[in-house]
Amino acid sequence: MQVTAEEAMGYMLNDLIPSRHSANQGAARLADGISDALRFAAANPHIYTHLTGDDGLRAAESAVLLEVALRVQLPEGHIRGLARVATTARAQLPELWRRAREGFAAFSLVEATVDALVRLRPAVDATDAEREASAAAIAMVDSQASDWVLSLTPGAFRRRLRVLLDRLDARDTVRRHVDALDQRRVIFDDPEDGMAWIHVLVPAIEAIAAKRRATSTAKNLQKDRREGRSRDQIRADLVSAWLRGEGTPTATTVKVFVTVPVGLTAGTLVDEHGTCTVCGGSGWAEQARIVGGPTLDPLTAKQLFLDATSYRRLITDPVRGVIVDLDRRRYRPTKAQRDLLILQHGTCARDGCTRLAVDADIDHIIEWSRGGSTDLASLRPLCPPDHTVRHRTRIRFRSRPDGTAQVVTPTGLVSEAPPPF
């Protein structure tokens, strides 16, 4: 049978629908499974810990979140969020959750609806009538949302959800603003090409005032004929300087670890014999980088080196890039040990963990109470959550020669080291 180009195109587009449904079903099943695992661990905390009571429940939850993170390769915070959405949706949005399990509702829309329910939940001291009104409002959201997901785009769904919530929310506008004010926070997005986003959720009037101040100052600076930056660039530089307290007596001094290969500071990448000065002849040039973070371009690295009020010389194997020693300019061994561990690992030593080593606890591989020593070969950085899991649960952290920690769980999971870069 002859098929026209239009029909062939139609077949290809129709094939996308089952794929989308499968993705929605998979996301819902994953969230359901995580929620079930957390419930099972709460009912059987002895699987993961010898602690009892509330301490045992918290330890078991932390342990199962860590194991799930290793199994499905997602951050623990994200996994906790998936479980929260599944648990809430099953209990309060049964029709919408059924749509998700059938593949008709995207998980992101279910999550948005679950988050919106905060506006409709009754207060702790609510009357019976207020609780009944809250339950009716939530049921209305469930009914409407389960219909909208069948035909509306995500953008249209979110707009209708906002309108419906505005109608159902019994709080006055003052109360709603006060509740929203409690959610103010700062979010840092993952860096890219040596850059990163900073998002600040603050009252709108403060945001507008901050933007106008930055814009007004930028306009004034642009009057200088020597100024070559765009207005957006000037505003970004101004806000960064203000947040860091640059030039103010109250600015807090913080330490950011940056490694700068000596070849970059020498001003040339090739010597008089044509040999690479930053790769030791290996062909793989070392790059400057924020420890535990992204690489930096050579120009930024040189400027950081020149602006530094002090520095410490780090000795590495030029071929493998492995840290060999740290030149100690002052006698503070505990600080030097910590600095070296931060430089060696960059992040938490546990397989799969990306939390920065600069914020980690220093863990004794052999516990101090059992005769462990405080030398570099016996230490490793573990982020506070992993450090707690190690000492409060039955999950074992098995040390490798390079100081990284392999995870062995009571259910039989053994983590694998990441492949070499």
DSSP string, 17-60: HHHHHHHHHHHHHHHHHHHHHHHHHHH-GGGT-S--HHHHHHHH
Same domain? For 390 and 320 the reply is no
Position 251 in a domain: no
Mean pLDDT value across residues 185-211: 84
CA distance between the termini of the chain: 52
Q: Are 284 and 263 in contact (CB under 8 A)?
A: no
Residue 275 belongs to what domain range? 258-326
Asked if pLDDT for residue 118 goes beyond 90, the answer is no
* In a shared domain, residues 33 and 90: yes
d(CA 66, CA 407) in angstroms, rounded, equals: 9
**Do 340 and 291 fall within a single domain?**
no
pLDDT of residue 420: 63
Classify residue 153: in a domain, yes or no.
yes
So what's the pLDDT on residue 333? 35
For residues 52 and 87, state if they share a domain: yes
Give Cβ neighbours of residue 279 (< 8 Å, ≥ 6 apart).
285, 286, 318
Q: Could you tell me if 46 and 328 are in contact, meaning their C-beta atoms sit under 8 angstroms apart?
A: no
Same domain (yes/no): 319, 340: no
Least confidently predicted of 82-91, 208-217, 372-381: 372-381
Question: What is the percent of the chain with per-residue pLDDT over 90, rounded to a whole number?
Answer: 43
Look at residues 140, 160, 181 and tell me which one is the last residue of a structural domain: 181
More confident of the two residues 340 and 260: 340
pLDDT at 283: 47
Q: Does residue 387 sit in the same domain as residue 290?
A: no
Looking at 275, 305, 326, the residue that finishes a domain is: 326
Pick the residue with more confidence: 246 or 143? 143
pLDDT tens per residue across span 231-254? 999 999 999 888 888 877 766 565
pLDDT in tens, 37-92: 999 999 999 999 999 999 999 999 999 999 999 999 999 999 999 999 999 999 99
- pLDDT on residue 379: 86
The verdict on 314 and 381 lying in the same domain is no
Closest to 383 (Cα-Cα) out of 52, 75, 83 = 75
Residues 273 and 149 in one domain: no
> What is the arithmetic mean of pLDDT over 274-288?
52
Predicted TM-score (pTM) of this structure: 0.70
Mean per-residue pLDDT for 304-327?
51
- The one-letter code for the residue type at 210 is A
Residue with tokens 């499905």: 72
**Per-residue DSSP letter, 412:** S
Q: For 397, phi and psi rounded to 5 degrees?
A: -110, 100
User: pLDDT tier at 227 (50, 70, 90 boundaries)?
Assistant: confident
- 111 class by beta-carbon count within 10 Å (0-12 exposed, 13-18 middle, 19+ buried): buried
Calpha distance 69→81 (Å, rounded): 12
238 in any annotated domain: no
Quick one: 150 and 57 in the same domain? Answer: yes
338 and 358, same domain (yes or no): yes
- In this predicted structure, the answer to whether residue 3 has a pLDDT above a threshold of 90 is no
More confident residue, 42 or 289: 42
Are 157 and 25 in a shared domain? Answer: yes
Please state, in angstroms and as integers, the Cα–Cα distance from residue 244 to each residue in 215, 237, 256, 402, following that order: 18, 11, 13, 36
Domain boundary among 326, 350, 370: 326
Co-location of 339 and 293 in the same domain: no
- For the chain, what is the domain count? 3
In the structure encoding, which two tokens stand for residue 79, read together?
A: 């996994």
Higher pLDDT, 367 or 327: 367
Establish if 242 belongs to a structural domain.
no
Hey, how many other C-beta atoms are within 10 angstroms of the C-beta on 294?
14
